[in-house]
Amino acid sequence: MVQWLMTRLVGRNHRSNAFHYVSRLATINVLSGRANQVYLNTKIRLFSNARFTELPQNEETKVVMKNESTFIKKKLPPTHGKLVTILSIDGGGVRGIIAGVILNNLEEHLQAIDGPQARIADYFDVIAGTSTGGLITAMLTAPNKDGRPVKAAKEIVPFYKNESANIFPPSNWVFSFFKGFWGPKYDGKDLRSILGELLKETRLHDTLTNVVMPTFDIMKFTPTIFSSYQESVDPSLNVKLSDICIGTSAAPTYLPPHYFSNEDSQGNISYFNLIDGGVTANDPTLVAMTAVSREAVMKNPDMEGFEPLGYDKYLVISVGTGSPKTLHYSALKASNWGLRNWMLNIKHNSNPLLDIIFESSRDMVQYHTSVMFKAVKSEDNYLKIDVDTMEKDDASIDNAAKENLDKLEEIGKELLKANVVRMNLDTSKYEPIPEKVSNCQELERFAKILSGEMELRKQRYKAMIDDSSN
């Protein structure tokens, strides 16, 4: 009977919320009054966050009946709270260490409130990442055999320190110079091996919360955004997380484009030819916000009560990976540049054209995001943590030398001590906020809000179940 009712509900409205299904079923006689505790003996297939999520049979999938109430131990969607929570992580190669330091600090604040088992994925409705940020997103959201994130935030920095030299093996500048003319600087074999071992067969729909990862398809000549939301309406996007990470990290001239195919549940085969998502959105904040807004437009029940442009109800943390703002090029000098100079600056071991594309994309996103939050008088709901005063030698995306990785970690620690800054919309410069609080203190404030939001959702959901069972 329960299975028949579930099928009818799904058939009538395939985008309905799984939590609503279970809460309604809790009032059915077959469940109420006949058992104090019910376990689902088969895998539960839930339409959660407008997508199928198949949960393994473990403690997280128990449906517990107590005092005629039903709980699913899973993060509840925004409709049960008052905020949409978004985490965004920039691209930047080995500079992902900086983001790792920041995220570890955030997770430590969450653990101080809710206990050592707390993980970042438990608190965000969407986690977005581009390039190296995509790798970090996968680490934070891919499930291990116990249904928890494959990496805790504290493991991100060690991961980079252990694997960066394998992904970007050191070579002298003469070898790099000539190799850069005839092919990518690195073959990417170790990256593919590392990600294959880390993420195994995990697919987009398996993530512990919604993810958004931008890439660019050079065959279709259009951005391809791998989004948990979009995957629900386009099954071809339900690919392996490892393939997404390899694609979004394939920076032109550094790593080869990533080609792969995917067969969806209907037997249709799709082909992908991907390069680094940084050429589209090195800071994926707006991409993530747009994905959420689209769900509100599409009347996703998870977003019930939220307007498509209701940015005053968004809580956004955007984590950067540093910027080489000290690296400038004069028009006088660049006027004599040809293809070689635009593609390879030997003195600084950089790719000027790619640096300009990534940095301009990043700055435009930060400007527009700042405008959006200022327009709805909710600037305190948006936190961008980044440093734009890095020296040119520190800002390399592929300098995997131990001393450089150690220095990047120190830059991250110093960034936590630095004052929170916001973009001055008149000058596009970053200025400290009047309160003179540090990034660490602001992360602690955001952690309290995130914890409070999740607690509010649990209370409201429990009250809804209690009401429906009376």
In whole angstroms, give the CA distance from residue 174 to residue 197.
Answer: 33
CA 276/CA 257 separation, integer angstroms: 8
Report the DSSP pairing between strands 269-275 and 258-263. antiparallel
How far apart CA 250 and CA 244 sit, in angstroms, is: 10
Distance, in Å, from the CA atom of 66 to the CA atom of 412, rounded to the nearest integer, reads 46
Does the annotation mark 468 as catalytic?
A: no
For the chain, how many helices (H) and strands (E)? 16, 14
Task: Tell me the C-alpha to C-alpha distance, in Å, between residue 255 and each of 96, 167, 339.
Answer: 17, 10, 19
The DSSP annotation for 254-270 comes to: TS--EEEEEE-TTS-EE
CA 424 to CA 417: how far, in whole Å?
A: 21
Which among 18, 9, 25 has a CA at the least distance from the CA of 465? 25
> Quick check: helix, strand or coil at residue 211?
strand
Place of tokens 């959420």: 292
Contacts of 205 (CB under 8 A, 6+ apart): 51, 52, 53, 54, 228, 231, 238
Which amino acid, one-letter code, is at 423?
M
Give the H/E segment covering residue 65: strand 63-66
Of 41, 43, 23, 19, the closest CA to residue 31 belongs to 23
Using CA atoms, how far apart are residues 122 and 117, in angstroms rounded to an integer?
10
- 276, 283, 355, 394: which is the annotated catalytic residue? 276
* The one catalytic residue among 23, 69, 88, 131: 131
* 276 noted as active-site residue: yes
Question: Which SS3 state, helix, strand or coil, does residue 348 take?
Answer: coil
* Alpha-carbon span 30 to 128, nearest angstrom: 41
Q: Is 427 exposed, middle or buried (0-12, 13-18, 19+ CB in 10 A)?
A: exposed
Residue 86, SS3 per DSSP: strand
Q: What letter would DSSP give residue 199?
A: H
Nearest-angstrom CA–CA distance, 419 and 415: 8
Give the integer Cα–Cα distance in Å for 248 and 251: 8
Continuous H helices in 115-172:
132-141, 156-167
> Phi/psi at 201 (nearest 5 deg)?
-95, 10
Active-site residues: which are they? 131, 276
